[in-house]
């Protein structure tokens, strides 16, 4: 058995003394039982009147509810953290897009075509990650100039009609 469940039971017993006391009382009388065998319902019904057993059951029910609520809170926390990470990643991509667009504007004025093309490829990757279509890309004329010119001609023909 891994240490996690044992540690959790110890922590529950520390927080709920009734559970701890119930475990001690039950262990004293049932050390000979095997934990992998099912509980004998008839023998349990005979002991049902025992107040210590009833306290154990109540304490275990309370701890079970506490475990479930803790588990739900942990799942909600993890889901919220994952959402926050995704939103942060999208925000970073938009920041990178902004910086790259400034760089592209400066490179368009220069003479280093290869560097402009390399930056344009990176801009296109970032745009895909944040959901910008190729037709709305700031580097569509650099990456695929033929497609951009064709779209511009179609738009101008459509505007003339």
What is the per-residue pLDDT across 6-45, written as a single tens digit (0 to 9) for each?
Answer: 787 778 877 777 776 666 655 555 444 444 444 454 544 5
The confidence band for 160, taking pLDDT boundaries of 50, 70 and 90, is low
At residue 36, φ and ψ (nearest 5 deg) are: -90, -5
What is the per-residue pLDDT across 80-108, written as a single tens digit (0 to 9) for each?
Answer: 999 999 999 999 999 999 999 999 899 88
Residues 3, 11: contact at Cβ < 8 Å? no
CA separation for the pair 56, 19 (Å, rounded): 6
Token match 């037709």: residue? Answer: 135
């Amino acid at each position: 058995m891994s240490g996690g469940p044992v540690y959790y039971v110890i922590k529950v017993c520390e927080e709920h003394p009734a559970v701890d006391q119930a475990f001690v009382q039950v262990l004293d009388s049932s050390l000979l039982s095997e934990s992998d065998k099912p509980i004998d319902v008839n023998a349990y019904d005979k002991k049902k009147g025992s107040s210590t057993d009833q306290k154990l059951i109540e304490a275990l029910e309370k701890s079970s509810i506490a475990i479930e609520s803790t588990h739900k809170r942990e799942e909600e926390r993890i889901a919220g953290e994952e959402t926050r990470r995704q939103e942060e990643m999208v925000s970073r991509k938009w920041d990178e897009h902004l910086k790259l667009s400034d760089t592209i504007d400066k490179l368009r004025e220069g003479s280093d075509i290869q560097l402009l093309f390399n930056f344009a490829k990176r801009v296109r990757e970032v745009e895909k990650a944040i959901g910008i279509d190729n037709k709305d890309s700031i580097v569509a004329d650099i990456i695929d100039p033929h497609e951009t010119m064709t779209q511009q001609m179609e738009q101008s023909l459509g505007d003339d009609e």
